[in-house]
């Protein structure tokens, strides 16, 4: 059986009609126990109170009514919420597949609690196999890399082996030399890897998620190396390494960091598919266009009238006023969903992942933390070789 046990009919309907959200990002909290250099969302959302557990249940019910397939529970750090298992169960009870995105600081008890209610999909942030590089990216927190590796080992021990687990890796000048090693690491332990390029803006053009740190932008002389790394990642994927990302997406990563227009929106009048295929929810429950843009009016997803509002022309016009003037992003799932519903080869690959590979091709490998530390060290030094799976 596939790891994706709920919402397949909804997912298919979203892909073919493009009129119901396949995927919703729910920022369940702005609180976080790290201060990663590439992330501004914890500050942008700090003005909001968190929706209650009961409010989360009503959000789940309303998302089910509009045909949602997958909800990403993110933050901040979602495990900071003590009610996270109950939030996950609310979505599962409504036939929505929950995915948790975490920085890797969850305890064994917290991981067991979400696994016990049925969570089978988790993403952990890991940008490098070098402890010093990762600690610096995480905001200078000593031993944060070790803590993340220990959490990965615990996930592989606790979660069923056919669960879906992915490393979320942010491509930046800080870790450009470590991407291939992280791909090998993910493949060896039965995980996938998904890349997102660092998003940088300036105070004159604030975006909720994007960092203001201009030193994280790639310089023109660094772009050939970016191109080479992305070409290497594509080649590794084609040889069986566990890379989640499509060709179209990886090519657009290069365009994005080079300051060129991205192309993934070209088959939709050069706008994204929010709110029809995806949107975001802020910590207080308000609907947002995405992680970068709030709406001018408050539209609480937990409200009894949300479903009616979602299908109304007024909300669509409000969203389109933002998406039509946006120059595009590369926030992983949003572009990939548009690509997967508009490019046949990518659609076929994604269908295979959800229906076949997630159950049979990848199995979580039970490595004790000490062995993972050694594997990371060996990969970094070049003394270990990982075969494609």
Label residue 270 left, alpha or beta by phi (over 0 means left) and psi (-120 to 50 means alpha): left
**pLDDT at residue 54 in the model:** 99
What stretches of the chain show up as alpha helix (H) in DSSP?
Answer: 8-17, 41-44, 53-65, 84-93, 108-117, 131-137, 144-158, 179-188, 223-238, 247-257, 306-310, 313-323, 333-342, 344-352, 358-360, 369-381
Paired tokens of 353: 């992942």
Nearest partner of 280 among 244, 334, 199, judged by Cα = 334
Find the helix packing angle between 223-238 and 179-188, rounded to 10°: 20
Query: Taking 70 as the threshold, does the pLDDT of residue 4 lie above it?
Result: no
Q: pLDDT: is 346 or 293 the higher one?
A: 293
Are 65 and 20 spatial neighbours (Cβ–Cβ below 8 Å)?
Answer: no
Query: If you average pLDDT over every residue of the chain, what do you get?
Result: 93
Whole-number percent of the chain with pLDDT over 70: 95
Lowest mean pLDDT among 68-72, 252-256, 260-264, 341-345: 341-345
Mean pLDDT of 58-82: 97
Query: Taking 90 as the threshold, does the pLDDT of residue 41 lie above it?
Result: no
DSSP 8-state secondary structure symbol assigned to residue 95: T
Lowest mean pLDDT among 155-164, 241-250, 339-348: 339-348
Are 130 and 37 spatial neighbours (Cβ–Cβ below 8 Å)?
Answer: no
Mean pLDDT of 347-357: 70
Are 372 and 153 spatial neighbours (Cβ–Cβ below 8 Å)?
Answer: yes
The domain made up of 8-377 is a member of CATH 1.10.10.10: no
Mean pLDDT of 16-40: 91
Query: Taking 70 as the threshold, does the pLDDT of residue 286 lie above it?
Result: yes
DSSP 8-state secondary structure symbol assigned to residue 165: E
The band of 2, judged by pLDDT with boundaries at 50, 70 and 90, is low
**Coil, strand or helix at 355:** helix
The band of 350, judged by pLDDT with boundaries at 50, 70 and 90, is confident
Are 137 and 37 spatial neighbours (Cβ–Cβ below 8 Å)?
Answer: yes
Partners of residue 167 on adjacent β-strands: 124, 193
**pLDDT at residue 43 in the model:** 87
**pLDDT at residue 12 in the model:** 74
Lowest mean pLDDT among 64-73, 302-311, 378-387: 378-387
pLDDT digits (tens, 9 = 90+) for 163-217: 999 999 999 999 999 999 999 999 999 999 999 999 999 988 889 889 999 999 9
Are 79 and 123 spatial neighbours (Cβ–Cβ below 8 Å)?
Answer: no
**Greatest pairwise CA separation for the chain in angstroms:** 59
DSSP 8-state secondary structure symbol assigned to residue 211: B
Whole-number percent of the chain with pLDDT over 90: 82
DSSP 8-state secondary structure symbol assigned to residue 353: I
Paired tokens of 365: 């490998």
Query: Taking 60 as the threshold, does the pLDDT of residue 1 lie above it?
Result: no
Mean pLDDT of 272-296: 97
The band of 346, judged by pLDDT with boundaries at 50, 70 and 90, is confident
157: Cβ contacts below 8 Å, ≥ 6 apart: 366
Lowest mean pLDDT among 10-14, 84-88, 172-176, 179-183: 10-14
Query: Taking 70 as the threshold, does the pLDDT of residue 382 lie above it?
Result: yes
pLDDT digits (tens, 9 = 90+) for 242-270: 999 999 999 999 999 999 999 999 999 99
**pLDDT at residue 111 in the model:** 99
Lowest mean pLDDT among 11-25, 288-302, 329-343: 11-25
Are 182 and 127 spatial neighbours (Cβ–Cβ below 8 Å)?
Answer: yes
- Domain ranges (residues) in the chain: 8-377
pLDDT digits (tens, 9 = 90+) for 107-138: 999 999 999 999 999 999 999 999 999 999 99
Verify cis geometry, omega within 30 degrees of 0, for the bond prior to 380: no
CA distance 278 to 21: 5
């Amino acid at each position: 059986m596939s790891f994706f046990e709920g919402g397949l009919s909804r997912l298919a309907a979203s892909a073919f009609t493009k009129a119901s959200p396949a995927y919703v990002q729910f920022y369940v909290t702005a609180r976080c126990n790290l201060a990663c250099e590439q992330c501004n969302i914890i500050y942008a959302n700090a003005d909001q109170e968190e929706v209650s557990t009961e409010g989360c249940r009503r959000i789940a019910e309303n998302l089910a009514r509009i045909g949602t397939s997958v909800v990403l529970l993110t933050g901040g750090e979602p495990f900071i919420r003590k009610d996270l298992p109950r939030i996950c169960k609310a979505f599962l009870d409504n036939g929505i597949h929950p995915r948790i995105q975490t920085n890797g600081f969850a305890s064994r008890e917290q991981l067991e609690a979400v696994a016990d209610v049925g969570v089978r999909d988790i993403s952990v942030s890991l940008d490098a196999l070098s402890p010093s590089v990762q600690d610096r990216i995480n905001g200078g927190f000593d031993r944060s890399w070790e803590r993340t590796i220990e959490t990965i080992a615990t996930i592989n021990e606790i979660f069923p082996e056919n669960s879906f687990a992915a490393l979320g890796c942010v491509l930046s000048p800080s870790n450009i030399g470590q991407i291939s090693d992280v791909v090998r690491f993910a493949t060896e332990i039965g995980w996938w890897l998904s890349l997102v390029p660092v998003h940088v803006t300036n105070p004159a053009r604030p975006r909720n998620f994007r960092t203001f740190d201009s030193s994280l932008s790639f310089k023109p002389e660094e772009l050939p190396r970016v191109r080479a790394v992305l070409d290497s990642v594509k080649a590794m994927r084609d040889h069986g390494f566990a890379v989640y990302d499509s060709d179209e997406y990886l090519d657009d990563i290069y365009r994005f960091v080079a300051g060129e227009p991205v192309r993934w929106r070209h088959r939709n009048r050069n706008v994204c598919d929010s709110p029809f295929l995806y949107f975001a929810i802020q910590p207080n429950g308000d609907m947002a266009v995405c992680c970068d843009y709030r709406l001018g009016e408050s539209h609480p997803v937990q409200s009894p009238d949300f479903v009616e509002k979602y299908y109304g022309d007024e909300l669509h016009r409000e969203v389109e006023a933002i998406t039509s003037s946006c120059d595009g992003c590369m926030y992983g799932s949003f572009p990939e969903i548009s690509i997967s519903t508009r490019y046949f080869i990518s659609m076929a690959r994604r269908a295979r992942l959800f229906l076949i590979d997630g159950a049979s091709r990848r199995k979580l490998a039970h490595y004790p933390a000490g062995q993972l530390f050694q594997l990371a060290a060996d990969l970094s030094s070049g003394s270990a070789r990982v075969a494609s799976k």
